[in-house]
Structure 1
Amino acid sequence: MKHSLVFGGFWAFFILLSGSLVASYDGPLYDFSAYTECKAQPEEPLYQGGILKDEPPIMKPAIIGKTATGFYTPAFLLKNLTLGNLYCFSTWIKIQGANSALIRASLKTENRTYNCIGTVLAKNGCWSFLKGGFVLDSPSNLALLLFQNSDDKDIDITIDSSSLQPFTDQEWRFNQQFMINTQRKRAVTIHVSDQQGNRLQGAAITINQVSKDFPFGSAIAHTILGNLPYQDWFVERFNAAVFENELKWYATEPDQGKTNYTLADQMLEFVRGHQIIARGHNIFWEDPKYTPAWVRNLTGPDLQSAVNSRIQSLMSKYKEEFIHWDVSNEMLHFDFYEQRLGPDATLHFYETAHQSDPLATLFMNEFNVVETCSDVKSTVDTYIERIRELERGGMYMDGIGLESHFTVPNLPLMRAVIDKLATLRLPIWLTEVDISSSVGKELQGVYLEQVLREGFSHPSVNGIMLWTALHPKGCYEMCLTDENFKNLPAGDVVDKLLKEWESGEMKGVTDEHGSYSFYGFLGEYKVNVGYGDRAANSTFSLPRSDETKHFSIHL
């Protein structure tokens, strides 16, 4: 399957930025094309090959440890790579010597080895598409881009239609803004006329965006209950929430048969009272460490009965309350239930959850998918293959959750992974975004802005949730504020982007055609119009569309 969102090649075009035309841009336009089917022949290279155009690969001896294997692996010699550039690469790979193999791309420079900058689960006898990327932390005069089997077994690897396209930081930001302007905003024309239909020139118009279409929120914990400053701070910023732990099985039924939803009920009352949507997290967590102790002691029919009771209790109580449910959390890394209930256990979870709440969107949720490609348990193709495997079994699974717990983001890799996941044409959410505390608070802010801009600008991302629930002793990894709700660097970033990604208040007058036009972020709007001693108020919705929204007001 191919997923493509391409707006051209290396040609100049005009783009609307903040409602005004800017000078033409003649840099590269990002190519969102991705393929997940193994093909008889490779497609043409992206960007016509970029800086790899007319550059054949060299063959390097494959080495395991310090021992030459007798096999050769393809590689590219890369000269004069620039610090700060974002490099997007892709290639088609065919293997022999195994039915399938996880092929890993790596980069070796004079100063460092980047062990994984892209992967593909390649199959024997056909061509598989690898897409990835990298950003250097120091310039390189001579580097080696290698493609090797991730488990170091001897196989033949052939590559074709390779490309490597650099973007400056300014070019990358331009491409992000272009996608925001075309995917998160829409043109609007308001027409003002009198009761006889005559268009009125010079009518004063005030427009306010009253709500946003794009869900942007954060985890909350029971610590928000009764904490009015925390509640006010949260409601002022976010239109979506997820409960950090309060819906998890160990929280709602710590002892068998004794369910307690008190905290979850109170938190739901809070978000419902402020018209905030909420994700349900989670029904099952495959990690045995976070499975109730009494559940770990069950086997066979007793465990199956407990599982069925958990789904029915949770889903019947909260039917149609949560927009999503993370049904099976982190199933690529752990398999507690399938080990004990058989390979169809997960399929049963989704089927039963769908029957209990048919309108809820059912998600998988996983870490180390966009954060890195070094984790062989959760590569992009592993995720895709698992989803397809469950769908072949008849699973009702509607959404892809990417936890997004980053240390140092690799933005070209992050975008490439989302491109491939988008081929499934399912909703994609960044569900637990944070930056590791190991980098310090200042860099947390820097890296968070990179991740949020990347997520918001990608046309296949439908929502973003931060993992920043506030506790007396801090947060999981990253806090937005201190205990007095004074912003930390990450909080400053969130406030800046929230302001940037809203239309705010706009004022103007109608032209000679009785019209007023603007570009606005998707959402709900309130309009006030005045002309002489006449006035009118109205509202309208601005959903996603490629067409201009026309709205008429009669005075």
Structure 2
Amino acid sequence: MMDFVRANRIIARGHNIFWEDPRYTPAWVLNLTGEDLRSAVNRRISSLMTRYRSEFVHWDVSNEMLHFDFYESRLGKNASYGFYAAAREYDSLATLFLNDFNVVETCSDEKSTVDEYIARVRELERYEGGGVRMDGVGLEGHFTVPNAALMRANLDKLASLELPIWLTEIDVSSTLDRRTQAIYLEQVLREGFSHPSVKGIMLWTALHPYGCYEMCLTDHNFQNLPAGDVVDQKLREWKTGEVKATTNDHGSFSFFGFLGEYRVGILYKGRTVNSSFSLSRDPQTKHVRLQI
């Protein structure tokens, strides 16, 4: 898989180094205790982070640690701090995330309220010995019936951490019919895309021979399902597209565009100049000067 990623220059994120849920812990690890478990943990971090150093832009270090505590209950409350500190040491360029579910999906899960999430991030930062700074907020986003106002309010509060927010595993429950899934997916994507602190959205929609986890974008013939139509429509909507215009008397032209990479061409008296520029998040107007 990584050969394919490298060959096609695909940006990848690492999910995950450890998973605190014992249901997804390797069987041979479940019976380890004390120094045997600690040794296995250290080997895991060392081998994984050394092999894939600089390969992944993100790492979910200790997945779903608000809900589960397999490693912390056996290695002590400071186990997660150790995981993050070691990950930072092995790959200083990777963005480290605390990734969990039901933070923006609902207000009924006491383990993963916004306040609990923020408190855990602050706890890691204040840990004795210097603490470790989190680099990103990872929100899984497994929705049933989304509450747009709740999602927006929770994103606003998480933004107080002043960290980039990523929606890392977006899907909508398979208990709903496909048309309803698509309607709710559109609502979630629009809320995420429109929030200034959300820097990226990933979908949890991989297709395999036995179906998909909750929601697929296509059928087995790679024909779009309703959710796939929504994604395609949003990609078209949130793209500036081709803009043709004539400059004013001062040789200037202004436009509003979505963030991203742009190619620009100028045609004047039969001569053409081509260039490119990038629009990134910035409160200031972006000025690009081309001379012909």
The TM-score normalised by the length of structure 1 is 0.51
Aligned twin of 1:524: 261
2:110 is equivalent to residue 376 of structure 1: yes
Equivalent AA in structure 2 for residue 471 of structure 1: H
User: Deviations 1:353-378 (Å, cap 9, x if unpaired)?
Assistant: 11000111111110111111111111
For residue 143 of structure 2, the aligned residue among 406, 412, 419 is: 406
* Larger of the two Rg values belongs to structure: 1
2:213 is equivalent to residue 479 of structure 1: no
Is the 1:354–1:396 Cα contact (8 Å) retained in structure 2? Answer: no
For residue 197 of structure 2, the aligned residue among 451, 454, 460 is: 460
Counterparts of 2:288 and 2:114 in 1: how far apart (Å)?
43
The more displaced of 538-547 and 293-302 is: 538-547
Counterparts of 1:546 and 1:362 in 2: how far apart (Å)?
26
Alignment of 1:78-477 (within 5 A): 267-393=1-127, 394-477=131-214
Q: CA deviation at 1:546?
A: 2.1
Q: CA deviation at 1:400?
A: 1.1
Structure 2 SS opposite 1:438: coil
Structure 1 SS opposite 2:212: coil
RMSD over aligned CA atoms reads 1.0
Structure 2 SS opposite 1:349: helix
Q: CA deviation at 1:554?
A: 1.8
The more displaced of 440-449 and 514-523 is: 514-523
Alignment of 1:29-44 (within 5 A): none
Q: CA deviation at 1:510?
A: 1.6
User: Deviations 1:131-184 (Å, cap 9, x if unpaired)?
Assistant: xxxxxxxxxxxxxxxxxxxxxxxxxxxxxxxxxxxxxxxxxxxxxxxxxxxxxx
Counterparts of 1:323 and 1:403 in 2: how far apart (Å)?
17
The TM-score normalised by the length of structure 2 is 0.97
Q: CA deviation at 1:512?
A: 1.6
Counterparts of 2:60 and 2:172 in 1: how far apart (Å)?
22
Equivalent AA in structure 1 for residue 198 of structure 2: V
Equivalent AA in structure 2 for residue 312 of structure 1: S
Counterparts of 2:80 and 2:286 in 1: how far apart (Å)?
44
Q: Higher helix share goes to which structure?
A: 2
Q: CA deviation at 1:547?
A: 2.1
Counterparts of 1:391 and 1:363 in 2: how far apart (Å)?
13
Q: CA deviation at 1:484?
A: 1.0
Over the matched positions of the two proteins, sequence identity in percent amounts to 69
Structure 1 SS opposite 2:236: helix
Can you give the 5+ residue segments of structure 1 that lack an aligned partner in the other structure? 1-266
Q: CA deviation at 1:320?
A: 0.8
Q: Higher strand share goes to which structure?
A: 1
Structure 2 SS opposite 1:539: strand
Higher relative contact order (CA 8 A, sep 6+): 1
Equivalent AA in structure 2 for residue 281 of structure 1: H
Q: CA deviation at 1:306?
A: 0.3
User: Deviations 1:459-505 (Å, cap 9, x if unpaired)?
Assistant: 11111000011101211100001111111110000000000111111
Alignment of 1:542-553 (within 5 A): 542-553=279-290
Aligned residues: 289
Counterparts of 1:549 and 1:291 in 2: how far apart (Å)?
48
Structure 1 SS opposite 2:211: coil
Can you give the 5+ residue segments of structure 2 that lack an aligned partner in the other structure? none
Counterparts of 1:462 and 1:534 in 2: how far apart (Å)?
39
Equivalent AA in structure 1 for residue 158 of structure 2: L
